[in-house]
Copies of this chain bind each other. A is one copy, B any other.
């Protein structure tokens, strides 16, 4: 065993954590496809919430639901502030909603990892020096309701509650109605529980840690994200009779844009650009596409470089629209600036990994996470563990049990450091 100065009484119960990950992963599972589907505020996700609340109550946590359906389980501390109020909690969390046909780890690992920390305090009979809150935020995935990371965004004051409640899902349902339907329309005003600090344990969802043979990612920042939907309006015409120079081919323009995005990514060196959806109409083999609609996902850890990549792409669209005689419209779907996590917290995470003998590297989160929202109102940082093949949002999402336990051990060590000597 590596040397450790985590308070000796605090020991991570890896078996419980792994069992809870498996148990939660069974809820909404499709035995044929192999993945589980707990899209936000569906019956399956309600079942996941119910299970989580049972586990929180088993740990004798104070469970609170806010009006956007975020779930908070708090382990009280003995200390109060000068006016006798509860101290701001150290918060850990993530989400338990999933995309369609998901893995078992995305989000759940951060929530259940938080519970594992509480479990360690309970098993050691220790009371933390400030409260510990485990949070599960509503609709992080955005698979049914936009925007994604909604619960943490509302919690951080970045989106008005009423606007979030009025979100209409892909199935036509209103989010507020669905919260009532599943019984998670809580009473607490969002943002009531402002954390003292926030930690999120998560699978990397990317290939870097595995590729470099490392055990822990110390996430010091998070890429800015730009989502756009581009609509190209051209002219449908016969594929066999329309000379190339007379074409207004929406499909070609979309393809040229995809190719340009690759050049933008390569030239920038840091921007990632992805076209994940692309439809052409009318979609007939011998008819030039009248219309093409595609989405652009651009990310960069630097706001300046992200904005530069967006600007270059926009200029490209303007030029090609003129050259090809098509109309191009752009709809912004989401835009988040890069987030720099708390440097002190990152240092502590790195020191904890080192103390536990685990290899680590500083890294940037490529994906969006609730931590980026909470970073608006409190010091925040994240801990990553490897994702096999970088695969996520897929039944093949996998992290070895040992790696999962190691990540939680780092989290426990960090919490122990931050809460000082527990009593």
Contact = CB atoms under 8 A, between A and B. Distances in A.
Name, among A272, A277, A286, the residue most crowded by chain B CB atoms within 10 Å (CB to CB). A286
Nearest to A229: B285
Contact of A241 (B206, B227, B244, B282): B206
Interface residues of A, number: 61
B278 A241 contact: no
B255 A272 contact: no
A204 interface: yes
A391 interface: yes
Contacts of A262: 244, 252, 256
A154 B322 CA distance: 46
Given A246-B207, A393-B287, A252 B240 contact: no
Interface string A279-301: 11011111111000001010100
Interface stretch (A114-122, A188-196, A231-239, A347-355): A231-239
Contact of A204 (B99, B241, B254, B394): B241
Contacts of A365: 240-241
Interface in A366-414: 366-368, 390-394
Contacts of A227: 285-286
Contacts of A282: 276
A333 interface: yes
Contacts of A367: 238, 240-241, 286
Interface of A: 99, 204-208, 211, 223, 225, 227, 236-244, 246, 249, 251-252, 254-259, 262, 265-266, 272, 274-280, 282-289, 295, 297, 299, 333, 365-368, 390-394
